């Protein structure tokens, strides 16, 4: 569970809280619901890269690795370690039963580019790999000193290019367990098996895997293509099958569901849209493939009749919580832009008698007006009603800023040209009288 600014940080960290951040009681409700459903929550706190939600604030900007970007924290400052300890301590205080903590550390952009890092790298024997490992070890040791019962996990991407000797000599295996992530439907099985073997021979015997059930496709994706994610899980199953059973200590797989690519990016698929994909991926892992038995369980759980894994277009969205949001988003994605563009670019009367030039001069033929005005008004009325229904359905699940963002990203850009057309038409009509 990666909270970022939705966590109710306190004290000097209170500035990190979003307007609609969870309260401590809401965090407890989440944990109680998880426990009652047989789920264990592993909180994730970024401690190196992807720290935009912290470092974007002026109070902490001096701790950036590179002053112009808030991605990575400066690994050389004692204040950085103190800040990270404060973050993890506050998160763990509200997760008293957690046995694991994920400390992130993926995609540390511009690692070693800061002035202090540049000086450090000039010392003979120092390099970027050692810089990364050194920081992760310091963070891990601080966390474990305060919470010795925890198992610490990190994303593995910054470790992949490191030599076996460096990994073994660094001692990092004593404090962390890597989570190997790959969300590609064409995941390279052979290369991944070799990577796992390298980690094991480096002392990193306890490993986690990470797939995805939504997100990871396109940064502004609005619908989840189940087929892509099923293929990703099928490839991961091939990896597991190819590993020697007597030496492999796989701890589990994280079926990740992204909401944004990073703190500053747009929303990708909302959870209601991605839930069918999650159900299909879970069944695939349980049965080894998305076979008939897996599909039957999928259909029963979601209340759907047909399974459409390879297409976005669905008419049957079942009866699961959030299915109305999923249905309306699918409808908007499939038809909104095409119908509006079809009118503005395909109605011969609108094109011929209310062109961009006519609109600029506010000129319209009163007889020809009747050939396209009713269709334009009817089209706008229809889609604004759909948008209102979606907003009402989303209001039950999301805070207002999320609803506003989604509509501004996916509805208004398609409807605004039609609104502008009708506004110009109204002004032109008024000049006729």
Question: Nearest-CA neighbor of 81 among 33, 22, 19, 145?
Answer: 145
Size (the chain), residues: 433
Mean residue pLDDT across the chain: 94
Round to whole Å and give the CA distance between 62 and 69: 11
Round to whole Å and give the CA distance between 322 and 224: 14
Model confidence, pTM? 0.92
22-52 pLDDT, tens digit each: 999 999 999 999 999 999 999 999 999 999 9
Please tell me the predicted confidence (pLDDT) of residue 240: 95
High-pLDDT (> 90) share of the chain, %: 93
8 A C-beta contact, residue 55 and residue 63: yes
Count other Cβ atoms within 10 Å, centred on residue 361: 11
Question: Nearest-CA neighbor of 98 among 143, 142, 50, 139?
Answer: 143
Answer left, alpha or beta for residue 254, where phi above 0 means left and psi between -120 and 50 means alpha: beta
The residues near 107 (Cβ < 8 Å, ≥ 6 apart) are 49, 50, 71, 155, 157, 158
* Catalytic residue list contains 292: no
Please tell me the predicted confidence (pLDDT) of residue 315: 65
Round to whole Å and give the CA distance between 233 and 187: 9
8 A C-beta contact, residue 173 and residue 142: no
8 A C-beta contact, residue 418 and residue 340: yes
Residue 311, pLDDT > 60, answer no
8 A C-beta contact, residue 305 and residue 316: yes
- Among the residue ranges 108-117, 242-251, 252-261, the one predicted with the least confidence is 242-251
- Among the listed residues 107, 289, 384, 404, the single catalytic one is 107
Question: Which tokens in the block code for residue 92?
Answer: 């763990």
8 A C-beta contact, residue 1 and residue 43: yes
Residue 309, pLDDT > 80, answer no
Residue 314, pLDDT > 70, answer no
Count other Cβ atoms within 10 Å, centred on residue 159: 26
103-140 pLDDT, tens digit each: 999 999 999 999 999 999 999 999 999 999 999 999 99
Round to whole Å and give the CA distance between 393 and 387: 10
The residues near 12 (Cβ < 8 Å, ≥ 6 apart) are 59, 86
Cα distances (Å, whole numbers) of residue 301 to 120, 277, 305, 329, 393: 56, 12, 11, 21, 21
370-373: long-range contacts, CB 8 A cutoff, minimum separation 24:
372/343, 372/347, 373/425
Please tell me the predicted confidence (pLDDT) of residue 337: 96
Q: What is the dihedral of CA 200, 202, 203, 207, to 10 degrees?
A: -40
Cα distances (Å, whole numbers) of residue 360 to 156, 344, 354, 363, 428: 57, 16, 9, 8, 9
Helix (DSSP H) and strand (DSSP E) numbers for the chain = 17, 7
Please tell me the predicted confidence (pLDDT) of residue 432: 81
Round to whole Å and give the CA distance between 48 and 107: 9
Question: Which tokens in the block code for residue 305?
Answer: 């009749």
- Among the residue ranges 161-175, 198-212, 308-322, the one predicted with the least confidence is 308-322
265-287 pLDDT, tens digit each: 999 999 999 999 999 999 999 99
Residue 312, pLDDT > 60, answer no
356-369 pLDDT, tens digit each: 999 999 999 999 99
Question: Which tokens in the block code for residue 97?
Answer: 């039963």
The residues near 131 (Cβ < 8 Å, ≥ 6 apart) are 75, 111, 112, 117, 120, 121
Q: What is the dihedral of CA 262, 30, 298, 267, to 10 degrees?
A: -20
Count other Cβ atoms within 10 Å, centred on residue 325: 24
Antiparallel, parallel or unpaired: β 69-73 and 100-102? unpaired
Count other Cβ atoms within 10 Å, centred on residue 279: 21
Span 71-79, average pLDDT: 97
Largest pairwise CA distance in the chain: 87
């Amino acid at each position: 569970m990666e909270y970022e600014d939705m966590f109710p940080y306190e004290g000097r960290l209170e500035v990190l809280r979003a307007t609609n951040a969870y309260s401590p009681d809401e965090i407890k409700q989440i944990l109680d619901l998880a426990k009652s459903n047989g789920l264990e929550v592993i909180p994730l706190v970024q401690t190196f890269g992807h720290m935009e939600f912290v470092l974007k604030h002026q109070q902490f900007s001096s701790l950036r690795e590179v002053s112009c970007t808030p991605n990575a924290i400066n690994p050389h400052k004692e204040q950085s370690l103190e800040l990270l300890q404060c973050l993890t301590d506050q998160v763990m205080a509200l997760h008293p039963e957690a046995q694991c903590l994920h400390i992130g550390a993926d995609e540390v952009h511009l690692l070693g580019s800061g002035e202090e890092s540049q000086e450090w790298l000039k010392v003979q024997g120092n390099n970027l790999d050692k810089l990364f490992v050194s920081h992760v070890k310091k963070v891990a040791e601080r966390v474990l000193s305060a919470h010795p019962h925890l198992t610490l996990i990190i994303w593995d991407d910054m470790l992949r290019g490191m030599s076996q000797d460096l990994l073994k000599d660094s001692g990092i295996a004593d404090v962390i367990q890597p989570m190997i992530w790959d969300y590609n439907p064409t995941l390279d099985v052979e290369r991944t098996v070799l990577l796992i073997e390298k980690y094991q021979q480096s002392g990193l015997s306890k490993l986690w895997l990470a797939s995805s059930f939504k997100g990871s496709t396109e940064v502004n994706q609005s619908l989840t293509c189940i087929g892509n994610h099923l293929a990703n899980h099928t490839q991961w199953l091939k990896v597991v099958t190819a590993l020697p059973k007597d030496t492999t200590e796989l701890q589990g797989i994280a079926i990740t569901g992204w909401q944004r690519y990073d703190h500053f990016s747009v929303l990708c698929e909302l959870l209601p849209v991605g839930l069918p994909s999650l159900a299909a991926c879970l069944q695939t892992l349980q049965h080894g493939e998305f076979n008939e038995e897996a599909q039957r369980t999928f259909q029963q759980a979601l209340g759907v009749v047909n399974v459409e894994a390879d297409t976005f277009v669905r008419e049957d969205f079942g009866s699961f919580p959030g299915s109305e949001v999923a249905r309306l988003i699918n409808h908007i994605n499939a038809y909104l832009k095409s119908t509006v563009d079809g009118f503005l670019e395909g109605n011969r009367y609108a094109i011929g008698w209310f062109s961009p030039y006519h609109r600029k001069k506010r000129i319209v033929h009163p007889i020809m007006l009747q050939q396209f005005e009713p269709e334009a008004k009817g089209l706008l009325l229809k889609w604004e009603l759909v948008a209102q229904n979606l907003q009402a359905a989303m209001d039950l699940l999301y805070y207002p800023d999320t609803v506003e963002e989604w509509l501004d990203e996916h509805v208004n850009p398609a409807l605004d040209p039609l609104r502008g057309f009708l506004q110009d038409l109204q002004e032109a009509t008024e000049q006729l009288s």
